[in-house]
Structure 1
Amino acid sequence: MNEEFLQFLWQYKYYKPGIFFTDRNQQVEVIHPGLPNSNSGPDFFNAKIKLDDVLWAGNVEIHANASDWYNHKHHLDSLYDNVVLHVVLRNDKEIKNSAGRVIPCWEMEIPENIMSEYQSLRKHQGWIACENKINKISRFEIDAWIERMLIEKLEQKVSGIEALLENSQNNWQQVFFVVLARNFGFGLNGEPFEQLARQLPWQYIQKNADSPVKLEALMLGQAGFLELILHEDKYVQTLVREYRLLKHKYALQPMSAHLWKFLRMRPGNFPTVRLVQLAALISGNPFLFDKLLSCETLAEARKLLAVQPSEYWHNHYRPGVESPPKSKKTGSQTINLIIINTVIPMLFAFGKLRGNFDLQQRALDWLSELPPEKNNIVTGWANPSIGVSALSSAQSQGLVYLKRNYCDLRKCLSCRLGRNVLSLNSE
């Protein structure tokens, strides 16, 4: 039996009702089950348990079998000396703490209906475990949990950004460049884009931000795209010449071009196109992050991110390879993804780490203004058998996080929706 399930039953008092007695024939009354403990030590802190006429304040430990107390070495750990009640399914052994005191034990019984529902969740092989029951939960409850998932995802992003700040001497511009570059890879090329940004210090980008040609040379050259190409056209010759000068000046070592993926990709998404779009975005904007911080509205941020690479790329997807004319301006969908995956996490992190609540709220408001993303997970939630459609990017972000971090991992007991499904049969 999963101990997490037993802890869930104890916390919400979903065990079979009745008059309870310990193994020492003491009548048990649970005044308060205590607070769950996610760290080392007993499962619940500060519980209030009445044994006969004596009120005990202390901790509670829960096991499937009483003998697990010894299997887990709790009898050698003083952290468990303040346990006032041992809750088990099977009392197969008297247990003592490290001080030699016998711990009262109570056998908890599980109601058949809740047990059946729990087994159903664990065994269900559908898209999500509760897909046949989620329609019994109110949309208000679902939306509240989706919002919680969004905040949890952003908190996770904050932790990642904090780690980047530590490695860059608290340089927000450098961190922004790394996060922005990774997201310009749009998944498939995320890793090489991040590698490029980490190997190319922001100070070099900043010093050349007034020259679109130098920025393109830096980006394409560092990516390895100027090493093994024929230099027939003049523009590529210029890029190669500029990169060689910058490479020598900054002692740069280019990446290998084979790290980049082009296969089964639309030409507009080629990494070469994304690199020159990134160069165009930074060109003339050496303090791009500061400008985004000062944007009061989503429209201002969108306008700032709408850029057009140099004229050469109007009829090129790769350097030196001519193609039919087509604009390489960052499109509306691309801008939305940059805002969702880069701008908003950075604004939220900056606001949280600087104690600026207004900035955090702005990030959340912008997500609520943006349309929901289109991907397989969002589509799966909207399936008529589940019926949870995302109404904004804030909700689609929350739903994607919920699916990947709870549903796919079968963490139903840690999910408010999973707990609600189980509680439907708690009466």
Structure 2
Amino acid sequence: MEQLLHYVWKHKLFPLKSLVTADGLGIEVIDTGLHNHDAGPDFFNAKVKIDGTLWVGNVEIHDRASDWFVHHHEQDVRYDNVILHVCGTIDTEAVDSQGRPIRQLQLDVPDDIAEHYDELIHSDHYPPCYRIIPELPSLMIHSWMSSLETERLEQKTVAINERVVRCGGDWQAAYFVTMARNYGFGINGEAFEQWACNIPLGSVAHHRDDLFQIEAIFMGQAGLLEPEALPKTYRDKALRDTYYQRMASEYCYLAYKFSMQAMDFHQWKFLRLRPQNFPHIRLSQLAQLYYNRTAGLSEIIECGSLRELREHLKTQATPYWQTHFAFGTEHTPNEKHLSAASLNLMILNTVIPMLFAYGRHICNEGLCDRAFEFLEQLKAEDNHIIRMWQECGMKVENAGDTQALIQLKNEYCDHKDCLRCRIGYEYLKYGNH
């Protein structure tokens, strides 16, 4: 309930009656103050008139007045400038560190807001606010979607910046790790990121003109050249496979040369994966892409259109993997290349966040703007989250919209964080209108 009190105070959703202090003095709220999300009072620099006198200072909010002492505010000088203690229930007096009494206001949450908040939190429908979505002003929806779109890119920027730190400040290496993670397409994302962090790009660069050696390093560092990594059902056949033998031998030499250590192959997941999505195929496609020298961060930055990006990111598995999905498992020839849908996902989850993050890093607004332009030009995603929102009445036109709606579900709906959501705000205000 305290969170709801914060919300009611911040947005001045007060009950339709005069506000008075616990000792009977009239209150007029001029400015609720700046919401503080760190340590200290909940709202800074609020302005309230108490019995006709203007007070400027901080406001603290609790469910019960006695929480003041539970949190030991009476011993904390940071709370000496609190001009008003707002409570759901006043069950005791409050004092500052000097023992001086602090005026208190018992703020009753209006019944309709309390009822609507309870509906949002406990409704079996998902999302619980679905009833009012078709009635919301298009301007409000557009504004909220734009904010969510930016918020999602900023969230991805945090992850990218963390990779840059792990890569010793090398943005090219961080781009490689980000791209590799997205080659896992969800199921093997963590394994691919771990694998990419285990690739010594400086060493691989010495053999960049030899596709076979690149693939040997990529497969070997993934642990997939270990005999134990070969499924028992065709291990004997795989061990006799000439390509496997050559690659295992080459990796053994290169691992010794560069002091490389393979990752644990148990990290890879194969259950319910279609053969064309096996790690072997994806690693071969990455090896070809690395060999082509077309998809590094510097090359991507130069791309001014989606068509150019797709040309740079196009890749296919090397010849051996056109007829195999694992070592020793031959099948009908099939050109294994990234599909158009996969290319769009790589642009959406790798290129666009990197352009935005790197643009922020070098203070280049042009790169950030290009990231948003690509989002607007890219086709909307089609998944269960997007279909759910469309059934609720949300209009979806491009990938920017779908990224916003994914952010809305993951960061607000799933956490029942309706009080930070603009749709939730509208629901609390109008609910059953």
TM-score by length of 2: 0.94
Conservation of the 8 A alpha-carbon contact between 2:241 and 2:327? no
Cα RMSD for the two superposed structures: 1.7
Which secondary structure state, in structure 2, belongs to the residue aligned with residue 312 of structure 1? Answer: helix
Identity over aligned residues, as a percent?
39
Q: 2:231: which partner in 1?
A: none
Aligned length: 424
2: CA distance between counterparts of 1:53 and 1:140? 39
Q: Are 1:253 and 2:261 matched, yes or no?
A: yes
Q: Aligned with 2:95: secondary structure? A: coil
- Give the counterpart of 1:326 among 317, 323, 334: 334
Secondary structure of 1:60 counterpart:
strand
Partner of 1:83: 82
One-letter amino acid matched to 1:180: M
Whether 2:318 is the aligned partner of 1:310: answer yes
Alignment-mate amino acid for residue 304 of structure 1: H
- The answer on 1:379 being equivalent to 2:387 is yes
- Which whole-Å deviations, capped at 9, do the CAs of 1:133-173 have from their partners, x for residues lacking one? 32232233223212211211111111122222222221111
Distance 1:193 1:337 in 2: 16
Change (3 A) 1:240 1:425: closer
Please give the alpha-carbon distance, in whole angstroms, between the structure 1 residues aligned to 2:393 and 2:432: 24
Tell me the TM-score normalised to structure 1 length.
0.95
Superposition pairs of residues 138-287 of structure 1, within 5 angstroms = 138-228=137-227, 230-285=238-293
What is the match of residue 394 of structure 1?
400
CA contact (8 A) 2:41 2:82 kept: yes
Partner residue of 2:411?
405
Aligned to 2:5: 6
1:63 partner SS:
strand
Paired residue type of 1:81: D
Report the equivalent of 2:232. none
The amino acid of 1:153's aligned partner reads R
Q: Which residue of structure 2 lines up, in the alignment, with residue 360 of structure 1?
A: 368
* Contact 2:295–2:313 under 8 Å retained in 1: no
* Alpha carbons of structure 1 residues 127 and 19: separation in structure 2 relative to 1, 3 Å: closer
1:414 aligns with 2:420: yes
Paired with 1:426 and 1:70, the residues of 2 have a C-alpha distance of 39
When residues 103 and 197 of structure 1 are mapped into structure 2, their CA distance, relative to the original with a 3 A threshold, is same
Q: Residues 82 and 46 from structure 1, CA distance in 2 versus in 1: closer, same or farther, beyond 3 angstroms?
A: same
Q: How far did residue 120 of structure 1 move?
A: 1.3
Q: Distance in 2 between matches of 1:44 and 1:236?
A: 65
Mapped contact 1:173–1:287 kept (Cα < 8 A): no
Give structure 1 regions of 4+ aligned residues with deviation exceeding 4 angstroms: none
Question: Given the superposition, is the C-alpha separation of residues 13 and 40 from structure 1 closer, same or farther in structure 2, using an over 3 Å criterion?
Answer: same
Report the secondary structure of 2:30's partner residue: strand
Residue 102 of structure 1 aligns with which residue? 101
Counterpart Cα distance in 2 of 1:218 and 1:244? 9
In structure 2, what is the equivalent of residue 60 of structure 1? 59
Partner of 1:17: 16
Report deviation, 1:81: 0.7
The amino acid that maps onto 1:33 is T
